[in-house]
Structure 1
């Protein structure tokens, strides 16, 4: 078993709103990984006294514990319970009905001797590499299918698209959103390695078009997760006219978790 975890903030002066963990039970039977990308709210009140980083660490910690200690739960059930647990921890002090209450994207994978289970919610990415080198990409592409013009206004997005039918879903305060995640199970024998990445790292493919998903995984496998993030940072800095970045942040929090099973 080999694992690598790298997470870097987009701005060293701001807290990293990503969360990442790999759990390997003492029994030696399987394991799990969790990657969250906290959603940065626009300036102004978002109904919560807590930061997005606080939320990501609470939700991520609960998911890590539940995915390992409660193996009878499906991954959707584990996510629902983790959301409920996190919501209960600040429901008395915060307005969890606010559309920008702290929230995050989710990648969750769990493996045992027989199978690999996965769950993806919103625009973080999971890659599964087969023993023959074939790479399968697990995506929740609902956000990418939303007309870009509707995303130019935070108010319009929150009112018509965020955690709504016809829009996209993130893990916030409503546990029912767990049923909206992309989930599946594949035989353990069909997975040699897996990688989970937030969109700050997948920019290498999605914004800068430096290669496809198999090429990205090859960089991580051969050069390491930190090398991929270093490549992204170089591309971001070089894109002075924002040909590729457009209206996106110059630098975003970037997380890569890689595991060879």
Structure 2
């Protein structure tokens, strides 16, 4: 899609065609082309046992994503952390009366949120989705919330330990669930609009190309998306996943994960 000088691409592919895509993505580009926003969420797949909620992860990501899209545009007086906190509260209120929101596996998601105006580009990242910023010179800088990668691998192999002591806990990692205070944990920043040529947001199903299969760095991934498109990146990831029959790279991870790529040229 193009608006004035701006160009955007959004692609999201489910990891399993028999299951709904738990990612969410949206781009808002006003007709003036002077400002806009992007939202990318990666819904956390719940375990098979009951988690105290009547609603699916896609229900949750659609509600949270819609609130983020609306608030980031309508409430420009709010910081992105405040936008995220209010969106979490609004979404929690939508099922507070029917669901146990205190359960550690209540529906939740990683977050990438960006908003730009003629003067500035604001960004927010929570958990292991990634935002890439590209400067006019072509330098690509990843915005990462690396807390999950710092959790000891031995702890992550235990489902019980992850739920009890790591998810949305000190010393662990944080996702957007039902507690609005988690917004204060997000990685945030603001750049001059003139310093940003493009933004690329990706869920970890797409970042596997760098983080698991190590086929290039972030600049290489950005170049692939810019030159061939988000679908080309996802196609390459799927081929690598299928070829990894010995799970040399995937380890205990699911074979195919939902993968989302949003690319905006400002």
> Common fold, TM-score beyond 0.5?
yes
Matched, 1:245 2:239: no
Structure 2 CA distance for aligned equivalents of residues 186 and 99 of structure 1: 35
Q: How does 1:106-121 map to 2 (within 5 A)?
A: 106-121=111-126
Partner of 1:3: 8
Matched, 1:55 2:60: yes
Q: RMSD in angstroms over aligned alpha carbons?
A: 0.7
Structure 1 CA distance for aligned equivalents of residues 52 and 60 of structure 2: 13
TM-score calculated relative to the size of structure 2:
0.97
Structure 2 CA distance for aligned equivalents of residues 131 and 224 of structure 1: 19
Structure 2 CA distance for aligned equivalents of residues 75 and 237 of structure 1: 38
Q: Per-residue deviation at 1:24?
A: 1.5
Partner of 2:137: 132
How many residues are aligned here?
261
Q: How does 1:94-105 map to 2 (within 5 A)?
A: 94-105=99-110
Name the SS for the 2:95 alignment partner: coil
Q: How does 1:34-183 map to 2 (within 5 A)?
A: 34-183=39-188
Kept after mapping to 2: 8 A contact 1:18/1:37: yes
Matched, 1:33 2:38: yes
Aligned residue among 202, 223, 228 for 2:207: 202
* Structure 2: gaps spanning 5 or more residues: 1-5
Name the SS for the 1:210 alignment partner: coil
Structure 1 CA distance for aligned equivalents of residues 91 and 29 of structure 2: 23
Kept after mapping to 2: 8 A contact 1:42/1:154: no
Name the SS for the 1:215 alignment partner: helix
Kept after mapping to 2: 8 A contact 1:25/1:68: no
Name the SS for the 2:63 alignment partner: helix
Structure 2 CA distance for aligned equivalents of residues 247 and 19 of structure 1: 24
Q: Per-residue deviation at 1:158?
A: 1.0
TM-score calculated relative to the size of structure 1:
0.99
